[in-house]
């Protein structure tokens, strides 16, 4: 037990000195997070069926429009968040305290597009699963298609450089556009 240290940042036991143990630990943690994300998408697809179907229809009917809506949402909320963060932290230059109201508003404005992306993500992953299932004859249930689309998309996002800088932003923007089209129909 002396080789394990309790991390103060999170309630996780991490190996102390062994680099191989740390690598194995990170791989196991990454697999666990992947499984939890797939379960979250399957849960949201099962519970929010109407929203899931509307976001999938928005992506299927006009994918470019959905992507442009997502870009617009991220641009507006991103600009507003940058402005609020600059107002919250400008006092550091003047050596005064942080303005907590601006900081909390900036955090809230930052969370809104991410929650919108989370709302549209099951529909987007379901659409990816539909496209993949069509290659194999379409013999899958809707929930299985969502799980398959989530797993394939997450593995594509793990691919170095292309996944990080192309796949992830496209997934976030399209999911945000689908979530916004679902909310503001």
pLDDT score at 38 = 95
* Share in percent of the chain as helix, strand, coil (round to 5): 80, 5, 15
In 10 A of CB 184, how many CB atoms?
7
Q: Which of 18-27, 76-85, 119-128 has the lowest mean pLDDT?
A: 18-27
pLDDT score at 72 = 97
Q: Could you read off the pLDDT of 120-178 as tens digits, one per residue?
A: 999 999 999 999 998 888 778 888 999 999 999 999 999 999 999 999 999 999 999 99
pLDDT score at 14 = 58
Token pair recorded at residue 21: 């143990």
Q: What is the 3-state secondary structure (H, E, C) of 16-74?
A: CCCHHHHHHHHHHHHHHHHHHHHHHHHHHHHHCHHHHHHHHHHHHHCHHHHHHHHHHHH
176 within domain boundaries: yes
Q: How many structural domains is the chain composed of?
A: 1
Residue 17 pLDDT more than 60?
A: yes
20 within domain boundaries: no
Rounded average pLDDT over 2-6 = 54
Token pair recorded at residue 17: 């000195």
Enclosing domain of residue 165: 49-183
* Long-range contact set of residues 124-130: C-beta below 8 Å, sequence gap at least 24: 124/55, 124/56, 124/59, 124/149, 124/153, 124/171, 124/174, 124/175, 124/178, 125/41, 125/45, 125/149, 125/150, 125/153, 126/45, 126/52, 126/56, 127/56, 127/59, 127/60, 128/152, 128/153, 130/56, 130/60
108 within domain boundaries: yes
Band of pLDDT at residue 83, cut at 50, 70 and 90:
confident
pLDDT score at 8 = 54
H helix or E strand, kind and range, residue 5: strand 4-6
pLDDT score at 3 = 55
1 within domain boundaries: no
34 within domain boundaries: no
């Amino acid at each position: 037990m002396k080789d394990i240290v309790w991390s103060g940042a999170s309630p996780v036991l991490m190996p102390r000195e062994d680099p191989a143990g740390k690598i194995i630990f990170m791989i196991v943690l990454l697999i666990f997070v992947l499984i939890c994300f797939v379960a979250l998408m399957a849960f949201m697809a099962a519970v929010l069926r109407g929203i899931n179907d509307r976001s999938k229809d928005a992506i299927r009917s006009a994918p470019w429009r959905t992507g442009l809506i997502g870009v617009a949402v991220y641009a507006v909320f991103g600009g507003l968040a940058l402005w609020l963060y600059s107002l919250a932290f400008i006092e550091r230059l003047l050596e005064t305290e942080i303005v907590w109201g601006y900081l909390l508003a900036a955090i809230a404005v930052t969370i809104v597009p991410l929650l919108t992306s989370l709302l549209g993500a099951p529909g987007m992953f379901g659409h990816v699963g539909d496209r993949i299932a069509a290659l194999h004859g379409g013999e899958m249930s809707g929930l299985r298609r969502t799980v398959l689309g989530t797993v394939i998309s997450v593995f594509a996002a793990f691919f170095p450089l292309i996944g990080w800088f192309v796949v992830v932003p496209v997934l976030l923007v399209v999911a945000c556009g689908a979530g916004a089209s679902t909310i503001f129909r």
